[in-house]
Chain A
Amino acid sequence: MFTALIFYMFSAIVVGAGVMVISARNPVNSVLWLILAFFNSAGLFLLLGAEFLAMVLVVVYVGAVAVLFLFVVMMLDINQVQFREGFLQYLPTGALIAVVLLVELLAMVGGWAFAPDVEALIRAPTPTIDQATNIVALGKLIYTNYVYMFQASGLILLVAMIGTILLTHRSRTGVRKQVIADQVARTAKSAVLRKVQSGRGI
C-alpha cells in the first residue's frame, strides 16, 4: 500500500513536471521542471529495485545533460513572445508523434497481456535478486552476451563526439595561446633580460 502511494506520488510529479516543461513561459523554468521530471523518474526506478539505473539517470541526465541544457538556455537571449509564435503550427506534428508513441506503448501492454511468457523470457538471462545485486547482474550481461553491442554503442558515441568537435572547431589566427611546453623548455639563455634605467622605462 505504502509503495503504491509513493509510486503515485513520483509518477504524478513526473507527469506534472512534464506538462510544466512544455507550458512554462520561461525556458529556464522549463529546464528546471525537466530536471524535476528526471529526478522523479529516478525515484520510479528505485521503486522497481533498479538502483543502478536510478543513480545513472541522476548522474548522466541531471548531473551532466541538463546542466549543459541550462547552461545554453541561460545564455540565449530569447524573446518570449516570439518563442511562442509557431506553437499552433507545430501542434499537429507534435500530436502525431504523441499518437505514434501512444500506439507503441499500447502495443507493449498488449504484448504483455496476450503473451504471458514474454516476461519470463525477458527475465531468463538475469539471475534473481538474492543471487546477485543488479549491478553485478547487469555487468555480467553487458560484458558477456552483449559485449559487441556495448562496444558498438561506444563507437557510435565516439563518432558523435568526433563529429561535434569537427563541426564546431575553427582554427582562429592571431590568437595568443599559452603553450606550456614552450614555457617549460625555456632556459636562462633564451630568456630576454633587459636592464631598465630608472625613470626611462623600455
Chain B
Amino acid sequence: MVDLLAGLLPPFVWRLIVIVVQIVAIVLPLLIAVAYLTYAERKVIGAMQLRKGPNTVGPLGLLQPMADGLKLFVKETVLPTNSNPVIFIGAPMLTFFLALVAWAVIPFDQGMVLADINVGILYIFAISSMGVYGIVMAGWASNSKYAFLGGLRSAAQMVSYEVSIGFVLISVLLTVGSLNLSDVVLAQKKMWFIIPHLPMFFIFLISGLAETNRSPFDLPEAEAELVAGYNVEYSAMAFALFFLGEYANMLLMGAMTSILFLGGWLPLFDIAPFNMIPGPLWLFLKICFVMFIFLWVRATFPRYRYDQLMRLGWKVFLPFSLIWLVLTASVLTAFGWLPNQG
C-alpha cells in the first residue's frame, strides 16, 4: 500500500508528506506532554504542600488540563486599546513556534530524529536565544507598565544566562568532538557526562531554570510586583500560546539536559532488564526526572532578588563555567583524550 502510494506520487511530494507526518508525530505527543506537565506540576506541588491538587475533573483529575485548555479556547481575545496589534498577536505565535521548532533536532533513539544536522547543538542554542523576542515583543506591544517591565527583566535575564549555557555546551562538545546531538549521546556509551561534568550539569540545570523563566528565577512574571509580568494583557488563546510555549521550552530544557548529561536514549546500565526498555522510553523517563527537579525547585525555593540573579549569572556561573572549559580542554589535551573527528 505504502509502496503503491510512493509510486503514484512524484518523489518530492512523497518526501514532503513523510516529513509532515514526522512533524505531527513529534508535535502531537509534545502538546499532550505539555498538558500533562501542567497537571503534574499541580499534583507534585500539591503533594509537597500537603494538598490534593486537581482531583475533580475526570478520574484523579486527569481531565483537568483538557478542561483548562477548553476554557482558554472559548474565552474572548482582548486587544488593549493602545497596543500594537500586529506585534501583540505575533509575539505569542513566535513564542509557540520557537518552542516547537527546536524539537526538530532532538534524537529520540538511534536515527530517530527529524533533522540529523551536524550543527544540532548550535541550532538549539540559536533557537533558544531567539525565544526572548516573544517575551520582549509582548511586553512592548501591550503598552502597559507591568508588561514592559516584565519584558525588560526577561530580556536581561535570558541574555545573561545564555552566556554560561554557551560555555557549558562548549565543554560538552569538546569532550564529544561533534555538534551533532546523536553523536553527543553515542559518546556517552561508556560513561554519562554527568560524571565527568557534574558541576556543569548543575550549572546547566540552574541556567535552564533562568532561561525558561521558572521559579526561583521567575522575575519576569513575579506576581507580587508585576501582577503577571509580560503576559498581563493577554487572554484566551494568545495567553494559552505563551503558556504552551513556556512549558514546551521547559520540556526542551529537560530533553537537552538528558541528551547532554544523562545519556539521552541510552539505558542506565547496558544489561538485561535495562536495555530491553526501548530508547525513546528511556529519554522520556529522563525528561520526567529533570521535570520533577524543576517542579521540586518551584515548591522549595523563594524567588531571587533581581540583583542577586544578575550576580549569580555574571559573577558566579560565567567565571566558573569558563574555568571549567579551560580545565576540560587542558585535561583532554594532557591525557590525549581529545576526540579525533573529521
Whether B159 contacts A64 by the Cβ 8 Å rule is yes
- Contact mask B275-293 → A, CB, 8 Å, 1/0? 0000000000000000000
Whether A63 contacts B341 by the Cβ 8 Å rule is no
Whether B118 contacts A71 by the Cβ 8 Å rule is no
Listed by A's residue number, 6 A-B pairs whose Cβ atoms lie within 8 Å are A62-B126, A62-B130, A63-B126, A67-B132, A67-B136, A71-B156
Measuring CB to CB, which residues of chain A are less than 8 angstroms from any residue of chain B? 2, 28, 32, 35, 51-52, 55-56, 58-59, 62-64, 67-68, 70-71, 74-75, 131-133, 135-137, 178, 180
Whether A55 contacts B136 by the Cβ 8 Å rule is no
If A55-B123, A59-B126, A74-B136 touch, does A178 touch B155 (CB 8 Å cutoff)?
A: no
Whether A59 contacts B125 by the Cβ 8 Å rule is yes
Chain A residues within 8 Å of B12, by CB: 2
Chain B residues within 8 Å of A59, by CB: 122, 125-126, 129
Nearest CB of chain A from residue B249's CB, rounded to whole Å: 15
Whether A132 contacts B156 by the Cβ 8 Å rule is no
B-side interface mostly: helix
Chain B residues within 8 Å of A68, by CB: 159
Chain A residues within 8 Å of B326, by CB: none
Pick the residue among B133, B155, B341 that contacts A136 (CB under 8 A).
B341
Whether A64 contacts B152 by the Cβ 8 Å rule is no
Pick the residue among A51, A62, A180 that contacts B118 (CB under 8 A).
A51
Considering only CB atoms, which chain B residue lies closest to A136 in the complex?
A: B342
Whether A75 contacts B159 by the Cβ 8 Å rule is no
Chain A residues within 8 Å of B152, by CB: 71, 74-75
Pick the residue among B119, B125, B136 that contacts A51 (CB under 8 A).
B119
Within 8 A of A (CB), among B101-148: 117-119, 122-123, 125-126, 129-130, 132-133, 136-137, 140, 148
Whether A32 contacts B132 by the Cβ 8 Å rule is no
Cα distance A28–B342 when bound, in Å?
Answer: 44
Cα distance A49–B150 when bound, in Å?
Answer: 39
Having A59-B122, A135-B342, one finds 19 other A-B pairs with CB under 8 Å, namely A32-B87, A32-B137, A35-B133, A51-B117, A51-B119, A55-B123, A58-B126, A59-B125, A62-B129, A63-B162, A67-B132, A70-B155, A71-B152, A74-B152, A131-B342, A135-B119, A135-B179, A178-B308, A180-B311
Chain A residues within 8 Å of B133, by CB: 35, 67, 70
Nearest CB of chain A from residue B121's CB, rounded to whole Å: 9
Chain B residues within 8 Å of A133, by CB: 118, 342
Chain B residues within 8 Å of A52, by CB: 119, 122
